[in-house]
Chains A and B, each alone.
Chain A
Amino acid sequence: MRKGVMRPGHVQIRVLDIEEAVKHYVDLIGLIEIDRDEQGRVYLKGWTEVDKYSVILREADEPGMDFMGFKCVDEATLDSLAADVQKLGIEVKEIPAGDLKDCGRRMQFVAPTGHVFELYATKEQTGKWGVTNVNPEAWPHGLKGMKATRFDHCLLYGDDLEGNLELFKTLGFGLAEQVLDPEGNRVALFLTASMKAHDVAFIKHPEKNKFHHASFYLETWESVLRAADLISMTNTSLDIGPTRHGLTHGQTIYFFDPSGNRNEVFCGGDYYYPDHEPTTWKAEDLGKAIFYHDRQLNERFLSVLT
């Protein structure tokens, strides 16, 4: 049952060249550059997001994800959730306010799959970009590229899925969808703290701490097709799409940032309430579960990770 985690609040992504990356996330995906810090990190957001930023880019030698953060309703909830995580035997580290610009203290821990997650409750709210909060217009002028509306979720690859399921249930997430192998083992988890079909998802993989993609929300299938046009116009590395997923039934296209981190833009998708039984896909039908039209996995989906 829900325990006060509201939404995916941010993801910090490592890139090989910060200016190339900013160009990709701003000019192509359409995120807004909001700020930079003395470490050289760049802070971005989708225009509908009320908090100051949701994507942080950091230049490093190895692409991938540094951490994903979830925003909680208040500071007291943050403390009680951190205590619940500690009770699982997972060490929780408190990072002081201000380490990320205009963000309060963060409670950070390593999940059983090796990914770093954090919880926080406070971040400066600058409001939706380009529209006011009273009598707002439908959308702001000056949006670029795919005009992504928000950071939506991450898909991550790792080994200990059962450990992660226990952790995220402890944080009040529901299991919206799963993939089961013929022996009944879970090989994919789609977890949500909200009505969305997923706020974070995991696929079983022998390595720890691998990043499959960060996903951004678009409004319509037409926008997904237009995103595909922009990917071709800019000669951006395409993975697959436009197509539809079986899992969540979202309409999607996958592509890569200039450092090889996978991005998704998508629209649609199923919804979830806490009394819903998990939707199950069979591992034997994984092709259809992942790519509903082709009904066949491309090898890249399983092997290309940062």
Chain B
Amino acid sequence: MAIENVYQISVINRQQVFYVPQGQPLLMAMEKVCQHAINVGCRGGGCGLCKIKILQGEYQTKRMSRAHVSEEEQALGFALACRLTPLSDLVVESDHFKLQTQQAK
């Protein structure tokens, strides 16, 4: 059943489901309902800790650090949850953060 004005977010690798009000950034909305399905870092698109892969659904993103999400990855559905606003229900996979072995500029 669709609930008005919220989107359902399924984080499949953590087997967690929560709801995000329309227009709110995914990560901060998750924090508000005390869920721990995605790691929380800087909340500003800089550190990469909340990197996820979106498997299903529509969304929009604000600018994210290219050190963590390259153009190619962005096209493949990778994003930082703190910079992502869902536009539909989403199915995502969290825990995609990796230490950088090489510095990109």
Contacts and interface: CB of A to CB of B under 8 A. Distances in A.
Interface of A: 16-17, 61-64, 114, 206-209, 237, 256-262, 300, 303-306
Interface stretch (B1-9, B15-23, B36-44): B36-44
B45 A63 contact: yes
Nearest to A24: B44
Interface string B67-84: 100000000000000100
Contacts of A304: 41-42, 47, 49
Which of B46, B49, B64 has the most A CB atoms < 10 Å from its CB?
B46
9 contacts: A207-B100, A237-B42, A257-B44, A258-B44, A259-B45, A260-B44, A260-B82, A261-B46, A300-B41
A260 B65 contact: yes
A286 B81 CA distance: 30
Interface residues of B, number: 22
Nearest to A305: B47
Contacts of B82: 260
Contacts of B44: 16, 63, 237, 256-261
Contacts of B63: 16-17, 61
Q: Is the interface of A mostly helix, strand, loop or mixed?
A: loop
Contacts of B66: 61-62
A303 B45 contact: no
Contacts of B99: 206-207
Given A62-B67, A303-B41, A260 B101 contact: no
A107 to B, nearest CB: 21
Given A206-B99, A208-B103, A62 B42 contact: no
B103 A209 contact: yes
Given A114-B103, A206-B99, A259 B46 contact: yes
Given A63-B44, A261-B46, 14 more contacts: A16-B64, A16-B65, A62-B104, A63-B45, A63-B46, A114-B103, A207-B103, A237-B44, A257-B44, A259-B46, A260-B41, A260-B45, A261-B42, A304-B41
Contacts of A64: 46, 67
B41 to A, nearest CB: 4
Contact of B65 (A17, A61, A209, A237): A61
Given A260-B42, A261-B46, A62 B105 contact: yes
Given A62-B66, A206-B99, A256 B43 contact: yes
A214 to B, nearest CB: 13
Nearest to B70: A61
